[in-house]
Amino acid sequence: MTGKLDGKVAFITGAARGQGRAHAIEMAKEGADIIAVDICRDIPSNPYPLATPDDLAETERSVKEIGRRVVARIADVRERHELRDAVEAGVADLGKIDIVVANAGILPMAMGRAFDAMSFVDASDVDLLGVMNTVAVTVPHLPNGASVIITGSTAGMIRGTTDNPNMGPGGRGYGWSKRVLIEYVEEMSMALADRMIRVNCIHPTNCNTHLLQNDGMYSMFRPDLTQEGKQATREDAEPLFTIFQAMPIPYIEPEDIAKLGVFLASNDSRYITGQQIRVDAGSLLKWPNGPG
């Protein structure tokens, strides 16, 4: 059986777990070889643990188990030279890059911690500059007809979510970065259109990853417990996750995003570019002016 991505190579950031790992697995299932990149260490301003080398090794193992080739590299998307080294290693081994998934992201919320201006810097450096760095180092390798897929967020479209003052500078940096990405995608799609390279952005609602499933997010959904001096748990918060979506679900799964990623990476989407594609279970329709 021929896969939709046979013969293609995908460069994926934030690939050690969550949406990045899901992209790697789903694209490998469709015949793509993978260059998997992740920072694999914590960033001090970000309160929840980031991926580890073991997580990246698990992504590598999963791709190999499917029967595809994979190059896994540790690199920080904030550092263009590290990304360039990862690109060169991947191209040296796999020969090319046809698909780029700029997925790495953090949400360094305050939620009861002291506000730290560096959380804004780190959020924007990873979530915005990291995307721009990823595109910058991969575009010289892309053939005509390639696909660039960027991970956005409905937080960039719905006011009053991550720019909630209680989330601190990091939440604001996350939301601001995702808003700027909207225009970046549109402008970059025009810059690459004459080469038939598509650039599109996927905007998820709550997604079942560590960015959602962490103590800071639980506290945001259960401020009553925080005020009582208690740490909210997943069980405390999850019933309230449904508030954002029109459909009665708490979150989507990484695979829901990755399956769209396969479509956008394939020739089935050859004339789709510059688009902001929401996988949000109706959240923007439910909250066009923000929650509240």
Residues 267-279 have pLDDT tens digits of 999 999 999 999 9
Within this chain, do residues 38 and 71 fall inside the same structural domain, yes or no?
yes
Q: Which residue has the higher pLDDT, 275 or 226?
A: 275
Res 167: pLDDT: 80
Residue 113 has pLDDT above 90, yes or no: no
> What are 88-106's pLDDT values in tens digits?
999 999 999 999 999 999 9
137 and 25 belong to one structural domain: yes
pLDDT, average across residues 126-149: 99
Is 226 found in the same domain as 196?
no
Exposed e or buried b for every residue in 206-245, given b needs 16+ CB within 10 A? bbbbbbbbbbbbbbbbbeebbeeeeebeeebbbeebeebb
Residues 108 and 133 grouped into a single domain = yes
**Residue 254: is its pLDDT beyond 80?**
yes
Q: Residue 245 falls within a domain, yes or no?
A: yes
Place of tokens 């934030």: 14
Is 4 a member of any domain? no
Strand order in the sheet with 99-102: 70-74, 33-38, 9-13, 99-102, 147-151, 198-204, 276-279
Check if 174 is active-site: yes
pLDDT at residue 292, rounded to an integer: 62
111-134 average pLDDT score: 91
Average pLDDT, the chain: 95
| Res 203: pLDDT | 98
Looking at residue 290, what is its pLDDT? 78
- C-alpha to C-alpha distance for 21 and 262, rounded to whole angstroms: 13
Q: Residue 6 CB: number of other CB atoms within 10 A?
A: 11
Question: Do 174 and 230 fall within a single domain?
Answer: no
User: Is the Cβ–Cβ distance between 198 and 207 less than 8 Å?
Assistant: no
Q: What CATH code is carried by the domain that includes residue 145?
A: 3.40.50.720
Residue % of the chain over a pLDDT of 70? 96
If one counts the domains in the chain, the total is 2
pLDDT score, position 289: 84
Query: Do 100 and 52 fall into the same domain?
Result: yes
122 and 88 in a common domain: yes
What is the mean predicted confidence (pLDDT) over 176-195?
98
CA distances from 84 to 21, 148, 191, 210, 267 (A): 21, 16, 21, 27, 27
pLDDT at 102: 99
Dist CA 180 CA 64 (whole Å): 36
**283 part of a folded domain:** no
User: Does one domain contain both 114 and 197?
Assistant: yes
Domain membership of residue 91 (yes or no) is: yes
pLDDT tier at 163, thresholds 50, 70, 90: low
Answer yes or no: is 119 within a domain. yes
| Residue 226 sits in the same domain as residue 268 | no
- Is 199 within the bounds of a domain? yes
d(CA 19, CA 10): 14
Q: Is the same domain home to 65 and 138? A: yes
Top-confidence residue, 128 or 109: 128
Residue 292 in domain? no
**Catalytic pick from 48, 174, 251, 271?**
174
219 shares a domain with 154? no
Range of the domain at 242: 213-250
- Element spanning 199, H or E: strand 198-204
* 153 in the same domain as 225: no
Residue 90 resides in a domain? yes
CB 184 within 8 A of CB 132: yes
